[in-house]
Structure 1
Amino acid sequence: MLNLSARELFAKLFSLLFYSLSAAIVVSMLVIVFDDIRNGTDLMQILIKLINGGIISLAVFELATVICAEYGSSAAEHGVITMLRRTLPRFIGTVCVALSLEGLIMVIKYSQLDLAGNLYYPVAIIISTAFLLAALGVFLKLTPPDEQSVKH
């Protein structure tokens, strides 16, 4: 019989759920792309859909990886700050890349469709991403360093 704590069991279940969702997003994205190619949709629109789906899938995959790595092992418990210093930069980095790419894609899309009046939406996304990244930097600067990195 498996000797898993409730924490490890839920971590494995949530990881499996998010890995499955990530795979489902990729499959759905590919089905939509092949359907769009068959229907003669503009190549640029297909590529934008492909990038959007890939970014979302990557963010969900990264979340599953973080949950599995940090909560799914029976290793010794870490302090909350240590765990946050290890997981937040990785996850927020992925989210920042996803948001900035989404903002840039929206800028390109709105520019091509002559919707310059709507450019404040992608600009707001890009500015929010910059604030999120800056907040992560402040968090990392103000928290004590990880014990493992101090020893090396």
Structure 2
Amino acid sequence: MTNILRNGWLKDLSARFFAGLFMCVSATMIVMAGLHFYAGFAPDNDFVSAVIKAINDLFIALATYELAMGIFKEYRHSDEDDLFMSIRRTVTRFVSVVVIALVLEGLIMIIKYSQLDLAGNLFYPVGVVLAASFLLIALGLFLRCSRDVV
């Protein structure tokens, strides 16, 4: 079993499999974004809601694409044995994309609720933006605490 892991072909195969799987999810979400955007041009649909759905799908596609690229880059080659540096880069890249997606999602929700005069529901997008802020602070703490390990 250690020869299998030492040769790296199992690690390479599983990295390619999971990266491909997340790439397929990302591509599917891009297609769904296009369909939601196209559906917004129908006379009985609200165009703004369709654009918001398309943007949400694109956020998910971006996050899954970034996860796929992180897996492919970090786990494909077995010659790098610095596990902490690899995890640090992957976590930073992925959490950064998630924070950006959450902040943009919160801003879109604020715009949507203000257009629909639903000011009572504004605590949802504020909660999303606060959660993204705490996630960004946690990422900063993780990077600061893991700085000495590398």
Report the AA paired with residue 113 of structure 1.
Answer: L
- Cα distance in 2, alignment partners of residues 100 and 35 from structure 1: 25
Cα RMSD (Å) of the superposition?
A: 1.8
Count, aligned residues: 144
Verify: 1:30 aligned to 2:71, yes or no. no
Report the AA paired with residue 15 of structure 2.
Answer: A
Which residues in structure 2 correspond to 1:1-150 (within 5 Å)? 5-79=9-83, 81-144=84-147
Question: Is the Cα contact below 8 Å between 1:85 and 1:146 reproduced in 2?
Answer: no
Structure 2: 5+ residue runs without aligned partners? Answer: 1-6
Following superposition, the deviation at residue 77 of structure 1 comes to 1.7
Following superposition, the deviation at residue 133 of structure 1 comes to 0.3
Following superposition, the deviation at residue 130 of structure 1 comes to 0.4
Following superposition, the deviation at residue 78 of structure 1 comes to 1.5
Once the two structures are superposed, residues 10-67 of structure 1 have per-residue CA deviations (whole angstroms, 9 ceiling, x without a partner) of: 1110100000110011112112221221345333223212211111110010000001
The SS at the match of 1:38 is coil
Structure 1: 5+ residue runs without aligned partners? Answer: 148-152
Question: Is the Cα contact below 8 Å between 2:106 and 2:125 reproduced in 1?
Answer: yes
Following superposition, the deviation at residue 87 of structure 1 comes to 1.2
Report the AA paired with residue 79 of structure 2.
Answer: A
Report the AA paired with residue 126 of structure 1.
Answer: V
TM-score normalised by length of structure 1: 0.86
- Cα distance in 1, alignment partners of residues 104 and 65 from structure 2: 17
- Cα distance in 1, alignment partners of residues 86 and 132 from structure 2: 23
